[in-house]
Structure 1
Amino acid sequence: MPLGERPGDKSDSRYCGVEPEFSHDMPLLLHLNINGGFDFVVATLIEKKKAKKNLRELEKGMRLKGDTETYRKPRSSKLERELERLSFQMDPTYRPSSIVSGSTGTGALPFAGSDLVLSPTQWSSHVVGKISSWIDLDSEDEMLRQDSEIALKQEIGWASHLSLQACLLPAPKGAACGNYARCVNQILQNLSNMQLWLRIPLEKSDDETTDENMAGGEVDSWELWNSFRHLCESHSQLSIALDVSCSLPSANSLGRWFGEPVRAAILHTSSFLTNARGYPCLSKRHQKLLTRFFDHSIQIVVSGKPADNHPMGTLELGAKSTDNHVESIQRHPLRSYLDYVGYLYQKMDPLPEQERFEPLMDNLEAQTYETFEKDTVKYIQYQRAISKALLDRIPDEQASTVTTVLMVVGAGRGPLVRASLQAAEETGRKLRVYAVEKNPNAVVTLHVTTSATCIELKLLSRLAAPAAAVYFLNYVMSMFTRIFSGHLGNLELAVASLGNNIQSFAFRRDWPAILPTPSEQNFVASGADLLRPSVTASAILPWIP
C-alpha cells in the first residue's frame, strides 16, 4: 500500500519496496511482503534448489503470539543460520560455461523458474528483477568475464520476457567499467520498455583528501556513474538506484545526484538508529535526504535484516476486526522500518497549489499559429460539424429568413472563421460570425481576411478579452439562435485563463448586471451598451454575409 496520502502528490515516491535476502518461493515471497505493507519486491530471478520449508518456518515466526499485540521473531538459531547462509548464496554453482560443457541435453534455461508462478500483472506491478551480484564483466579472469556477459544477457532477457518494469544491475566492481558499460549499452539498444537501474553506492571522499584517496584506489561514485552513463550514450532507459549507507557524503556531493535520473534509493537497515522506545529512526541528515528523495519522485527500497533490538511493530486493528482473525494476521519483520519511512512521508508539507494555467497571458507568434493551422484535418472536421449543425437547426424553408449566430473565441488568424463561412456557403444558410481575439497582431491578419472575402467588418474595441469576451458571449448567445465554436484543449480557446471565479450571466435589456472579473474590476452591462468602461483594447469582428 502507498506510504500515505499527501495532497497533490501522485508520484512514484508514494510506493516503498523491499529487498529480501532470499527468494526461493516467489509466490510466497510476494505474498508475505505485499501483505506486510510493501508495494513491490526487488528479488533475484534465478532458480534456487532449496527446500521451501525454511520460508514456511519464517512465516510461522511472523505470526501473532496468543491474544497479545507482541510479535516474536524466529527463535531457532538453526533456522537463523540457514537463512543467513542462503542470503549470501546467490546460486554460485551456476555458470554458463559449466552448463555448456555439462551438456544437459535440454533447451531450457537452467537458472530460470516458470513465468506461470505469478500472473502477468503481479510480475509487472510488484517485482523488480535483481541481477546476480557475482557478475563481473571487467574481471581479470577471462572465463568469468565471458560467463558474466552471457548470464547478464540471459537474466535481462528473462526479465524482459516477464514484462518487468525494471531490473536492478549490480554495482561496478571498480573504477574500470568499460566492458560492463559496453554490454549494458548493447542490451539497451534492443530493450523495449524495461528500465535498468544501476546500483551505485552513495559515497564520496572528502574534498580535502580527494587526491590521497584517488591515489589509494578509492573512486568517487558520481564520477563512476558519469563514466558509465557516457559509455551507454546517456540512454533514457538507464537510471540509478542509490545505495544509502549509515554515513553520508557532504551536502555538495549529495546535491549532484538530484540532477541525475535516480529512480530508487536503497535504504539499509544498518543506517537506522534506535530511539528511546526501541523503534528504528534516522539521523537528521538522513531524514532531510529522504524528504528530498520524496520531492524528486524517488522510491525507497528497504534492505537488510532487522536489528535484534527493534520490535516488529504493533498491530493496528480496525474497529470492525474480530478476535477470531487476530492469530492469522502476519507482521513483516521490517514493518517498523516501513512505518517510519511512511511517517517521514506523511509529515512533509503539502504541495503548494498549482499556479493557474494562463495560456493567454502572452501573445502567440506567427510560427505558433502556423503549427496549429497545419492540422488541416481538425478544421475539416469543424467545417463538417458546423454544416451538419446548420442543416439540423435550420430547415430549407427558413434558410433565407433565419440567421444563425456563431462565435469563435480565440480566433487566431481565422482558420475556424474560414471553415465556418465555407460551411454556411455549402449549406446555403445565413450565418453571422463573431470572432474574438486578444492578440492585436493576429487581428491584423483577420482584417486582411475580411478584406479578401469582401465581408463587412465592424470592430468593437471597448471589450476586454479574454474575461469580458465570455460575458459578451453569454449576453449574445442568450438572445439569438447560436452555435458556439472553439478549440478545447489548445491555446485557441482557453477559458481556464479566466480564473476560478468566472460566473455565467444571462442578460435582459432592462436588467443591469454587475460583472465580477479576476482583477476585481466591475463592468456594468445594460440595454444596448455592452460594456461602458473603456478597457484594454481587443477585437470582436462580426462577419455579416
Structure 2
Amino acid sequence: MVSDKHLNPASDNFEARPHFYIGQHDSGRSETLSDGHYSQVLNSGFNFVTTPITNPHFHQRVIDLYKSHVQRRGQWGISGTQKGNPSTPLPVVPTLTDKDTSYFPSHYVGNMVAYASPWIDLCSNDALISSISRQVLNLEVAYANFCGARGIIVPGPRDDAPRGVLQYARAIQEAFQVATRANLIIHMPMYREPGLEEKSKTLSAELIEQDGQKSGAGKEIELFSAWDSWHTIRSVCNYSVRLFVAVRIPRRLPELDLQERWFAEPLHYLTIDSSAFQTNRAGHPSLSKYHQECINRYMRLKNVPWFILSDVGPDMQALNDMPDPMAVEFPSLAEANQALKENRKPYMPPVNPYVGYMRYLERQQPPFSAMETATLASFQDWLQSPLQPLSDNLESATYEMFEGDPVKYDQYELAIEEAMKEWRELKKPTSSAPPGAPPCEDLVVVVAGAGRGPLMTRAIRAAEHTNTPVQLWALEKNQNAYVYLLRKNKEDWGNRVKVIKTDMRGWEGPRPRDYPDTITKVDILVTELLGSFGDNELSPECLDGIQRHIARPHGISIPHSYTAHLSPIATPRLFADIGTRVANDPNAFETPWVVRLFALDFVCQKGVPGKGRFQQAWEFVHPVEHTQADDGYDFAADRHHGARLLAASGVGSMATATGMNEHNTRHCHLTFVCRNQGVIHGLAGYFESTLYASQVPGREKDLVEISILPDQIDKKSKDMVSWFPIFFPLKQPLYFPRDTELEVSMWRQTDDTKVWYEWVVEAFAWVGPNARIKVGASEMHSSRKVACMM
C-alpha cells in the first residue's frame, strides 16, 4: 500500500464549521474610504471592503483624451467611419497623479481589495477604446500592486462574443507582467442573468452608444457561456496560479451541473448582490434554501471562498451620519459613567442586517462530518506520488497512518469471520496436516505483507469470535517491520504467530508445527495490497507469486476480487499545480497521482444506460485458476530465489520480456456522454473490492465489500478513508462542445520487470442522428518512466 491512507479522524472536532469572511462592496463608491469611514464599515460587521483604484477625475481625464484624439483625427481628415492610415499613432494614457486616486499605501491596505474601474472596456470593437482600456488597466493594476494590494478584482467581460473575450484575455495576460506580485481575480456572473452585471456604463456605452448599452432582453440565455468566457481567459493565461475567479451569485440559481462547474474552479470570492436577497415575514433579508445549499457546498472547499456583499449598505451618506468612530472607541467620562449606570456599552453600532443574516447562515451550516475533518481537509487536491511498496521499505509512521482507518479493518475482520463460518458449514478440509497424516482441524491462515500486524490482529479476533482453531503465519519483507512483528507476537499475540521475513513471492510455503519438515498449503490467504486503482500497487503480481500455496479447490483469498473504475473530470487546480512541477519533474503529466479529489467537476452524465459516470475498466480475481506458473514454470518464485531467467515459450508483448506476466495486462475502451460543453484535465481512478463472496449455494450475492467509488462508498464502506482516488492527468486540457461523447482508452502494460499505464482520450460530437465527428483528442500518455517495479 502507499501514502494514500491517513490518520484516524476520531481526534478531530466534528462540531467545527467553516468560517465566513465577509466583505462590503458599493458599486457607486468612487473614492477610497477614509480611516474613519473604514472603521465604521468594520464596526457594522464586515471584515474587509473593496476600494476603487482611481476616481472620477481620472475617468474624466480618459474621456477627454479619447475626445481630443477623435477631434484631431477629424482635423487630419480621418473620419470615424473611414479606416484611415493604420500607422496613425493611438493616444497614450498619461501616468496617474495624486488627483487621480485617493488610494494610497496604509496600515490597513491589506484589508482592502482593490477593484479595477468597471468602465474599462477591453472587449470593445473600437480599437481606440480597447487600446485606452488596456492602458488604463495596466496603470491601475501596477499602482495597486505598488500600494501593496494582495488581490485585484477585475470586472469580467460584459458579454461572451469570442472576439471580445479573446481581447480581454490577452489584456489580462499582459496585466500579469505589470502586477508582478498581486493576484488577479476576474469577476464573472455564474450565468448571464439580466441585471447581474456591473451597473456602470463602459467607455463604449458612454462614448459611442449614447443611448446606453444594447439590451439583452428577449435573448435566450446560454447557461454555460459565461463559464466558456472564463475558460478562454484562464487558458490564454496558461492556468496562472495567480489567476482566480469571483462568481456573482444570481437571484435564480441555475442547474446543479453549472454550480458544480464553478465549484471546480479557483474560487476566491462569492459575490451576493442585494437583489439576490428576499425579505422574510419578519422583514429581514434572507436567501432561498437553494442559495443556502449552494453556499454550504462551496464552503466545504479547503481554501474557502470569501463573501462580498454588494450594495447592501452602509453607503456614504449613512457613513457620514454615523458617530465619530474615535468617540465610539474612546467615550467621554460622562458618557462612560452613564453607560455604566444603564448597564450598557457607551455606543453599540448596529450590525448590518445582511451581515447579521450571513452570520446566521454561518451558524446553521452542517458541522463537519467524519470525512471533512481538518486532517482530511488538508489533503484536498494535494498531489502525492504513489510509493512503490515492492521496492520501498515503509517507515513506522506511514504504517501508523494506514492503521488509523477502522472501517477497512472492520470489513476485513468481517470477511475473515464469514470465511471461517462457511468453512465449517461447508465441511471443507484443512491443510494443517500433510497427506497421509492424521487430520487436523486447524485452519492455516496467512497474512502476507503484514506490515505492523493490524490484519493479523483482526484474523486472531475473527478466530476467537468463531471458535476456529488456527495456525497463523505473518509474512513481511521489510526487515524493520519484521522486528516490530516479533515484538508484537510476544507481547500481544502470545507467540501464536509464526513470523517470517520474506518476500511473499519467494516464500516456500507453510510448515506445520507438528510436521516441520513438510510443506503444506494455505487455507485462507489475507492481503491488503490494494492501491487507489486496485491493481496499481501490483497486487496481481504479488499474489501470483504466493497463490500457488493456496489449497485447491477450497482455498480462499481475501480479497477475492477487485475492479478498477474511471471517470473523466475537470480539475483546473490540479492541472495548474502539475504545471508548476514540470520544470523539476518532466514526467509530472505522465505520473498517476494519488490525491483526495475534491474541487472537481464530473463532466459526464449520470444515469445513461451502459455509459454511466463511473465505468469499470477491468477486474482481477484471486486465486487465479490457471497461469503459466501452473505449467511447470514459476517465474515469480524462481526470480526471487536468484535463479537465472530462463527462456519461456514466446516473448510476450514487450521486447526482452518472457511473457510470464502477460496474463496481468489489461485494456479498456469506455464511452462517456457529456450533455454540456466543458473541459477535462484528466481521469479519476477508483476501485471496488469484494473481500469475500459467500460460497454457500443460494447465498452467492452475500458479499463483504469495500469501495472508494463516490456513488458507492456510503453503501459499502461508509467513512472509509484508507484510500484516496488516483488521477491520470492530461498534458493539455481537452475542450469539448455540448452533446459530446468522450472515449477513453487505457492499457495496463508490463515487461516482466515493471508495470505501467497508458491512456488517451478522444472527443466526438454528434452532428446528426447517426453521424458524429472527432473534435479533439489528447496525446498518448504513458507512465513507463515512473513505472512500479516488480
TM-score by length of 2: 0.37
- Indicate how the Cα distance of structure 1 residues 365 and 107 shifts in structure 2: closer, same or farther if over 3 A, else same: same
The CA RMSD over aligned residues, in Å, is 4.7
Question: Residue 6 of structure 1 contacts residue 346 of structure 1 at CA under 8 Å; is this kept in 2?
Answer: no
Say which of 362, 368, 373 aligns to 1:351: 368
Aligned to 2:560: none
Residue number in structure 1 paired with 2:20: 14
Q: Which of the numbers 222, 225, 247 marks the counterpart of 1:220?
A: 225
Q: For the residues of structure 1 that align with 2:94 and 2:258, how far apart are their CA atoms?
A: 52
Q: Which residue of 2 is the match for residue 111 of structure 1?
A: 100
Aligned to 1:34: 42
CA separation of 1:92 and 1:290: change in aligned 2, threshold 3 A: farther
The 3 A distance-change label for structure 1 pair 245 and 104 is: closer
The structure-2 alpha-carbon separation of the partners of 1:325 and 1:439, relative to structure 1 and needing over 3 Å to count, comes to: farther
Determine the C-alpha separation between the residues in 1 that align with 2:497 and 2:67.
83
User: SS in structure 1 opposite 2:54?
Assistant: coil
Distance 1:284 1:105, change over 3 A: closer
| Equivalent residue runs for 1:38-77 within 5 Å | 38-47=46-55
Is the CA contact 1:269–1:307 (under 8 Å) kept in the aligned structure 2?
no
Partner of 2:246: 241
Structure with more strand by fraction: 2
Match of 2:477, SS? helix
8 Å CA contact retained: 2:190, 2:262: no
Equivalent position to 1:331, from 350, 353, 376? 350
Segment drifting more, 195-204 vs 266-275: 195-204
Mapping of residues 297-336 of structure 1, within 5 Å: 297-305=304-312, 322=340, 323=342, 328-331=347-350, 335-336=352-353
Equivalent runs, 1:438-477 vs 2, <5 Å: 440-443=476-479, 462-464=486-488
Match of 1:340 among 338, 348, 357: 357
Deviations 1:499-535 (A, max 9, x none): xxxxxxxxxxxxxxxx7xxxxxxx3xxxxxxx62334
Residue 272 of structure 1 pairs with residue 277 of structure 2: yes
Matching residue of 2:552: none
Corresponding residue for 1:182?
170
**1:199 and 2:187 are equivalent in the alignment:** yes
Structure 1 residues 442, 140: closer, same or farther in 2, change over 3 A?
Answer: same
Verify the 8 A CA contact 2:270 2:305 in the aligned structure 1.
yes
Q: After TM superposition, give the deviation of residue 96 of structure 1 in Å.
A: 8.9
Aligned to 2:259: 254
Structure 2 vs 1, CA of residues 31 and 302 (structure 1 numbering), >3 Å: closer, same or farther? same
Matched residue of 1:38: which SS?
coil
Gaps of at least 5 residues in structure 1 are: 50-89, 206-211, 313-319, 372-409, 412-437, 448-457, 473-514, 516-522, 524-530, 540-545
- Specify the alignment match of 1:131 in structure 2: 116
1:161 maps to which residue?
A: 146
Structure 1 residues 370, 114: CA separation in 2 closer, same or farther (over 3 Å shift)? same
Spell out, residue by residue over 1:293-317, the C-alpha distance to the aligned partner (whole angstroms, 9 max, x if none).
Answer: 2223121111114699xxx9xxxxx
Contact map agreement 1:45 1:130 (CA 8 A) in 2 = yes
- Contact 1:36–1:331 at 8 Å: present in 2 too? yes
Deviations along 1:457-478, whole A, 9 cap, x unmatched?
x9786333xxx8xxx9xxxxxx
Q: Distance in 1 between matches of 2:486 and 2:269?
A: 57
Cα distance change, pair 325–274 in 1 and its aligned pair in 2 (3 A): same
CA gap of 1:340–1:193, structure 2 versus 1, over 3 A, is: same
Partners of 2:109 and 2:34 lie apart in 1 by 10
Change (3 A) 1:138 1:324: same
Matched AA of 1:16: I
Q: 1:258 to 1:230 in 2, by over 3 A?
A: same
Aligned mates of 2:158, 2:50 — CA distance in 1: 20
Q: 1:223-260 CA deviation, whole Å, 9 max, x = no partner?
A: 11112221221211111111112122122222211111
Amino acid at match of 2:43: N
In the alignment, what sits opposite 1:149? 134
Q: What's 1:231 paired with?
A: 236
**Partners of 2:357 and 2:14 in 1: CA distance:** 16
CA distance, structure 2, for counterparts of residue 355 and residue 327 of structure 1: 40
Residues 277, 150 of structure 1: alpha-carbon distance in 2 compared, 3 angstrom cutoff: same
Contact 1:204 1:253 in 2 (8 A): no
Q: Over residues 356-410 of structure 1, what are the superposed CA-to-partner deviations in whole Å (9 max), with x where a residue is unaligned?
A: 89x9xx9863665699xxxxxxxxxxxxxxxxxxxxxxxxxxxxxxxxxxxxxx9
Q: How many Å separate the matches in 1 of 2:232 and 2:296?
A: 28
**1:155 and 1:106 mapped to 2: Cα distance?**
10
Give CA-to-partner distance per residue, 1:53-73, whole Å, 9 cap, x none.
xxxxxxxxxxxxxxxxxxxxx
Amino-acid identity (%): 19
**In the alignment, which residue of structure 2 is the partner of 1:532?**
494
Q: Structure 1 residue 31: deviation in Å?
A: 1.2
SS at the partner of 1:462? helix
C-alpha distance in 2 between matches for 1:233 and 1:245 = 28
Query: 1:193, CA displacement in angstroms?
Result: 3.6
Between the aligned partners of 2:364 and 2:43, the Cα distance in structure 1 is 24
Q: 1:535 to 1:157 in 2, by over 3 A?
A: farther
Aligned amino acid, residue 24 of structure 2: V
1:253-312 per-residue CA deviation (whole Å, 9 max, x = no partner) reads: 22211111111111011111111111111112111112122223121111114699xxx9
Task: Report the AA paired with residue 227 of structure 2.
Answer: W
Return the alpha-carbon distance in structure 2 between the equivalents of residues 105 and 255 of structure 1: 44
Structure-2 residue corresponding to 1:365: 389
In the aligned structure 1, how far is the partner of 2:498 from the partner of 2:375?
21
Aligned pair count reads 334
Q: Does the CA contact (< 8 Å) of 2:249 and 2:271 recur in 1?
A: yes
Secondary structure of 2:299's counterpart equals: helix
CA spacing shift, 1:136–1:247, aligned 2, 3 Å? same
1:499-510 equivalences under 5 Å are none
Asked if structure 1 preserves the Cα contact closer than 8 Å seen for 2:155 and 2:187, the reply is: yes
With over 3 angstroms needed to count, the CA separation of the structure-2 counterparts of 1:104 and 1:195, relative to structure 1, is: closer
In 1: Cα distance, 2:392 partner to 2:268 partner: 35
Q: Secondary structure at the match of 2:239?
A: coil
Aligned-partner Cα distance in 1 for 2:494–2:93: 92
Q: Could you say if the C-alpha distance between residues 369 and 185 of structure 1 is closer, same or farther in structure 2, counting changes exceeding 3 Å? A: farther
| Partner SS state of residue 265, structure 1 | strand
- Secondary structure of residue in 2 paired with 1:177: helix
Structure 2 vs 1, CA of residues 439 and 28 (structure 1 numbering), >3 Å: closer, same or farther?
Answer: farther
Residue pair 1:23, 1:29 contacting (<8 A) in 2 also: no
Q: Distance in 2 between matches of 1:26 and 1:99?
A: 33
State the 1:342 CA deviation: 1.2
The answer to whether the 8 Å contact 2:93/2:135 transfers is no
Q: Where does structure 2 lack aligned partners over 5 or more consecutive residues?
A: 1-12, 70-90, 194-216, 320-337, 380-385, 396-450, 453-473, 502-790
> With structure 1 as the length reference, what TM-score do the two structures score?
0.52
Deviation at 1:132, TM superposition (A): 0.1
